[in-house]
Amino acid sequence: MSDSNRQKILQSVPQRGFFGHPKGLFTLFFTEFWERFSYYGMRAILVYYMYYEVSKGGLGLDEPTALAIMSIYGSLVYMSGIIGGWMADRLLGTSKAIFFGGILIMLGHIALSVPGNVTMFFISMVLIVLGTGLLKPNVSSVVGEIYSEEDNRRDAGFSIFYMGINLGGFIAPLTAGTIGMNINFHLGFALAAIGMFIGLLIFIITKKKNLGLAGTMIANPLSPSEKRKIFKFIGLGAVIIAIACVITIAYGILTIKSLITLIGILGFVIPTIYFIVMYRSPKTSKVERSRIIAYIPLFIASVMFWAIQEQGSTILANYADKRTQLYFAGIHISPAWFQSLNPLFIIIFSPVFAWIWVKLGNRQPSIPKKFSLGLLFAGLSFIIILLPAYFGGTNSLVNPLWLVFSYFVVVIGELCLSPVGLSATTKLAPAAFSAQTMSLWFLSNAAAQALNAQIVKFYTPETEMVYFGVIGGASIVLGIILLIISPIIQRFMKGVR
C-alpha cells in the first residue's frame, strides 16, 4: 500500500474515541472478541469430544490420535492465514475478507453443533480452518492501518486489542466449555456459533463510522488478466487435489499418520517459501529486504514460543483431565476451565504491560529483547510443570495450583512476545505484502503446532519429566542466544523499534 493511501486511511479514521485510541479499535476489539469466543469455546472441549467414548457423547478416538489431530487442526487454522492474507492483498481487501471469514467460521460451528459422525467433524474443521484464515490475520492488519508507524500508542493499542482477544478466550471455556462438558458437546459448539454471529453483527454495523477507509483498499490488486489466470489455476488445483485425495485414501496412502507428517513438512516449507518470495520480489525495497532478514530470527523465536504455549490445548488439557486433582477446596473443577487461565492472566496483566511500554517510551526494551524474554518465561513454565512428577512421582494426582502457576508464567512470556510481535509485523512488513506478512506471523504458530503434532506422541505420564525438561530447556537456550544477538537484529530493522 502506498504512503498516500495510508495517509488517506489515517485521515478517515477518528483518532480519539476508545480509551484514547482510534475509534476503529472499538470495532476491531469486539469483532475479534466474539471470534475468539467462538474459537476458544470450541477448542476448550474439542480434544475431549474427540477422545471421550461414544457413550459419553464423544467420537471415541484414541488419545494420541486426538492430541495429534488437535495440533494438526491448530496448524491448519494458522496456515490458512496465508490464503486469507493473499486474498486480502490481491483480491478482496481486508474488510471483505473479515466478513466472509466470519460467515465460514459460523457455518463450521453450526456443523459441529449437529450430532453426526467423524465425516461431519472433518467438514466442520475445513470450514473453520478456511474462515479463520480469512478473518484472523486481516483483523490484526486493520489494527495496524489505523495507527501511523510513528504513533507511540501503537504497541499499547495492540496490547488492548490483544486483551479483547483474551477476554473472549476467558469467557468461552467457562460458558461453552461448561455446557459442552456437563450437558452436551453439541450445545457447546452451538454457543460458539452464536458468538461468531454476534461478532459479525458488530463488525457490519460499526465499521463504516469507526474504520473509515481502513480495510477497504487492496494493497496489491490483481489485473484482469492475472485474475483469469489465478482463477483457472485455483480451479485446476482444486480438481487435482480432490482426485489425489480420493485415490490416496482408496489405496490407504493418505491416513491420519501420513497427514500428520505432511502437515509437519508444510508447516516449515510454506513460511520458507514466503520469506524467499518477499525478499526476491521487485516490489520489495532495499530497506524492506533488510527488515525481512531481521524478521527471520523473530519468526524462529515465535515458533519455539508457540510450540510451548499451544500445548495448553493438547498436552496440558490432557494433563488437566488425567493427572490433576479436580476436586479442590470443595469445588469440582471441569478440565475445560483450565483453558480460561491463559486469557484470564492476559486480561489482568495486558493493561499493566501496555502502561509499562507507554511509560518507558523510547527507553523500553527493543523488539528482539522482548522476544528473548518471552522464550525464557515459556521455557520456565515447562520446567515448573515437571516438578510435581519429580517430587511426587507420576502415579498420584497433582495439585491444580501447579498447572495454574505454569499457565501464569507462560502468560508473562506471551505478553512480552505476542502483542509486540503483531505490532512489529505491521512495522517490518513490505508495503506490497502487508496482509500477507501478518499471515506469515501466524504461520509461526502453524509451524509450532505442526511440530507439536510430531512430538505429542512422546508424552506419557512416565516420560513427562523428560518431555517437559527437553522442550523447556531448548526454549531457555534459544532465548539466551536471541538476547546475545539482539543488537545485530536491531541494526537490520533499519530504525524500527
Per-residue pLDDT of the chain (497 residues; tens, 9 = 90+): 566 666 777 766 667 777 778 878 888 888 999 999 999 999 899 989 988 888 788 888 888 888 888 888 888 888 887 788 788 888 888 888 999 999 999 999 999 888 877 788 888 988 999 998 888 878 878 887 887 777 777 777 877 887 888 889 999 999 999 999 888 899 999 999 999 999 999 999 988 888 877 777 777 777 788 888 888 888 888 888 889 888 888 888 777 788 888 888 888 898 899 889 888 888 888 888 888 898 999 999 999 999 999 998 889 998 998 888 988 878 888 898 998 998 899 888 878 887 887 788 778 888 889 999 999 999 999 999 999 888 877 778 889 999 999 999 999 999 989 888 878 888 888 887 876 777 788 889 989 999 998 888 888 878 889 999 999 999 999 999 999 998 898 888 876 77
C-alpha cell of residue 343: 486469557
What gap in Å lies between CA 75 and CA 235, rounded to an integer? 24
DSSP string, 187-209: HHHHHHHHHHHHHHHHHHHHHHH
What gap in Å lies between CA 53 and CA 472, rounded to an integer? 33
Q: Burial, 222: exposed, middle or buried (Cβ in 10 Å; 0-12, 13-18, 19+)?
A: middle
DSSP string, 83-147: HHHHHIIIII-HHHHHHHHHHHHHHHHHHHHS---HHHHHHHHHHHHHHHHHHHHHHHHHHHHTS
What gap in Å lies between CA 102 and CA 104, rounded to an integer? 5
Q: Are 153 and 358 in contact (CB under 8 A)?
A: yes
Instruction: Enumerate the domain spans of the chain.
Output: 3-220+252-492
Among the residues of 251-396, which ranges form H helices? 256-280, 286-309, 315-322, 341-360, 367-392
Q: Burial, 290: exposed, middle or buried (Cβ in 10 Å; 0-12, 13-18, 19+)?
A: middle
Q: Are 449 and 75 in contact (CB under 8 A)?
A: yes
**CA-only gyration radius of the chain, Å:** 22
Q: What is the pLDDT of residue 483?
A: 92
Give the residue carrying C-alpha cell 459422525.
Answer: 117
Category of 17 on φ-ψ map: left (φ > 0), alpha (ψ -120 to 50) or beta: left
C-alpha cell of residue 412: 508473562
Q: Are 338 and 320 in contact (CB under 8 A)?
A: yes
Helix axes 118-145, 434-455, angle to 10 degrees: 140
CA dihedral 119, 177, 195, 214 (to 10 degrees): -90
Q: Are 44 and 176 in contact (CB under 8 A)?
A: yes
DSSP string, 416-429: HHHHHHHHHHHHHS
C-alpha cell of residue 117: 459422525
CA dihedral 11, 16, 19, 20 (to 10 degrees): 90
C-alpha cell of residue 366: 527493543
Listed residue (171, 217, 161) closest to 192, CA to CA: 171
Q: Report the CATH number of the 3-220+252-492 domain.
A: 1.20.1250.20
Q: Distance from first CA to last CA of the chain, Å, rounded?
A: 21
Q: What is the pLDDT of residue 286?
A: 86
